[in-house]
Structure formats: structure tokens, C-alpha cells
Amino acid sequence: MSTDTKQQTFSEIIKGETPVLVDFYADWCAPCKMMVPILQELKSKMGDSLNILKIDTDRNPDAAIKYQVRGIPTLILFKEGNILWQQAGVVRTSQLEAIINQKLSEYESV
């Protein structure tokens, strides 16, 4: 019996059933640092119903190019591999939670 846990790739994670909020950031970016407590609060509110990933654009420029990240921080909401929402800039927790819930309900009703 194997006890190895399989590392999921980025594309596997964003194609999953659980919605994924991806934060494209850089260590030197002051607004990006403002997103850290916001995302922590969001995760504590939404729990396992949402995965949050952080992608360092300096270390992963190909991902930033692929998703047309023009400014940081950029947040992208994925569900089953589809982009439901994308926005650059700092977003407050309450606003972010409302946007995510709205986009997910729109997606589910299609």
C-alpha cells in the first residue's frame, strides 16, 4: 500500500469540482501584501468550499502570460477549468465573498 500523496498540478486543481481563487502576486508588491490577511479571512469564512492558490508571477511568468495578468495582484476564480471572474487590484473580503458567491450561482444555473 502506498502512502504517497499525489501532487496535483495547477491545471488539475483548477479543473476540479471545488472552485479555486488564484492570487497572482509578487513579493515586492505592496498591494499584494495587503491581500494576504484578506485571503486568510476569506478562507476562514468559506472553508473547504473554496481553494485559494497563490502564484508568484516572478517565479511563474508563463502562468501570468497564459492568463493575461497585466497587473498585480490579479485574482482569477476558476471552476471546472473555466474562468468565472478576473480582476486586478485589492478587493475587500466582504466584496470578494459576494463576487465569488454570485459568480458560482450564475455558473451553476447555466
13, 29, 52, 99: which one is catalytic? 29
Q: Are 107 and 96 contacting, i.e. CB atoms less than 8 angstroms apart?
A: no
**Quick check: is 29 catalytic?**
yes
How far apart CA 52 and CA 31 sit, in angstroms, is 17
Q: 2 lies in a domain?
A: no
Q: What is the pLDDT of residues 29-81, one digit of tens each?
A: 999 999 999 999 999 999 999 999 999 999 999 999 999 999 999 999 999 99
What size, in residues, is the chain? 110
Q: 36 lies in a domain?
A: yes
Phi/psi region, residue 81 (left: phi>0; alpha: psi -120 to 50; beta: rest), is left
For residue 80, which amino acid is it? E
32, 35, 42, 76: which one is catalytic? 32
Q: Are 75 and 67 contacting, i.e. CB atoms less than 8 angstroms apart?
A: no
Q: Are 77 and 21 contacting, i.e. CB atoms less than 8 angstroms apart?
A: yes
**Quick check: is 27 catalytic?**
no
Count of domains for the chain: 1
How much is the pLDDT for 2?
42
Give the global pTM: 0.92
Q: 101 lies in a domain?
A: yes
How far apart CA 87 and CA 23 sit, in angstroms, is 10
Q: 12 lies in a domain?
A: no
Task: State the chain's mean pLDDT as an integer.
Answer: 93
| CATH number of the domain bearing residue 73 | 3.40.30.10
> Which helix (H) or strand (E) covers residue 86, if one does?
strand 82-88
Q: 49 lies in a domain?
A: yes
- The whole domain housing 41 covers 17-108
